[in-house]
Amino acid sequence: MTKKVLVLGELRDGALRNVSFEAIAAGKKIAAGGQVIAVLIGDSVKSYSEDLIKYGADKVIAIEDEKLKHYTSDGFSQAFLAVTEKEKPQGIVFGHTALGKDLSPKIASKLNIGLISDVTAIEEEDGETVFIRPIYSGKAFEKKIISEGIVFVTVRPNNIDPLPKDEGRTGEVNGLAVEIKDLRTIIKEVVRKASEGVDLSEAKVIIAGGRGVKSSEGFEPLKELADVLGGAVGASRGACDADYCDYSLQIGQTGKVVTPDLYIACGISGAIQHMAGMSNSKVIVAINKDPEANIFNVADYGIVGDLFEVVPLLTDEFRKLKASSS
């Protein structure tokens, strides 16, 4: 029997999140030649179907209802469970995002199946699909195999490469009417406090500040460097606790877990709770006045110096590089 894998397409600020395309790539590995079906849920989402197909989805099912304009676990679970009832999938993939982390346990419970969360790699071993996920705050990794039933996983953003975009690819797009009822939560308005610009959890470059930035104004050089590199600004819990920035920027065990290509830590000492959220970054650069700072133990490159001198110098050099290459 041909395998079917459902993948949840996730939207943010009127655009598909990159993790949606990464989830499709994960779905392809699970389907092993079978069909990957992307699911879109919202009040007006069908128009995003084409991109999902170009990134590898074989089919898209769109569920549109004004009650689904804003995410609620009640509404989205009703919509998604209607698709599982119709398609009878052998696999399900969500992004390990705020939405995915909230919705996936509810879906797994309703379907009476297991869930492997925060998957960072998918491999084949002896004919079995093996899912790899971090444990103990990233200090170790475990491998898991689903031997029977529906395979349900959430994938960490920036870890599974999306398939190349194929502009000529075509696929089936269908709508599905679902009666959304008995909602216990109605969202009337969403007030965003998160930072503008690049989404922190999906950023390829992150410039993060700690207590060493000394004030909210101390983040300005970091923002300037992030703008030049097309990256996002993050922070340690210490910086957030000191009111230097909003908690939406917090990276760490109790904040966001990020895995960018480049992570530049500025004035961050390297508490274990912070490193749990960024130690799997591909390249880590640490800038700190203290040569004994713990952050240097995980850094690929270390700069001992005042961040207020080093960061502007880096910004100028990167500007020159961009100007010479353009």
Annotation: binding site for FAD: 211, 236-237, 250-254, 267-274, 288
CB 68 within 8 A of CB 43: yes
Q: Which residue pairs, CB below 8 angstroms and at least 24 apart, start in 74-78?
A: 74/182, 74/183, 74/184, 74/185, 75/41, 75/180, 75/183, 76/41, 76/103, 77/103, 77/106, 77/107, 77/110, 78/178, 78/180, 78/181
CA distances from 141 to 132, 138, 151, 158, 188 (A): 7, 7, 19, 17, 41
**3-state class (DSSP) for residue 266:** strand
Handedness of CA 137, 112, 155, 9 (dihedral sign): negative
Helical (H) or strand (E) element with 322: helix 307-325
Residue 6 burial by Cβ neighbours in a 10 Å radius (0-12, 13-18, 19+): buried
CA-CA distance, 243 to 215, in Å (whole number)? Answer: 8
Strand partners, 153: 93, 116
CB 278 within 8 A of CB 208: yes
CA-CA distance, 139 to 158, in Å (whole number)? Answer: 19
Residue 24 CA to its chain's centroid (Å): 14
Q: How many CA atoms lie within 13 A of 39 on its CB side?
A: 27
Q: How many CA atoms lie within 13 A of 169 on its CB side?
A: 18
> What residue numbers does the annotated binding site cover?
211, 236-237, 250-254, 267-274, 288
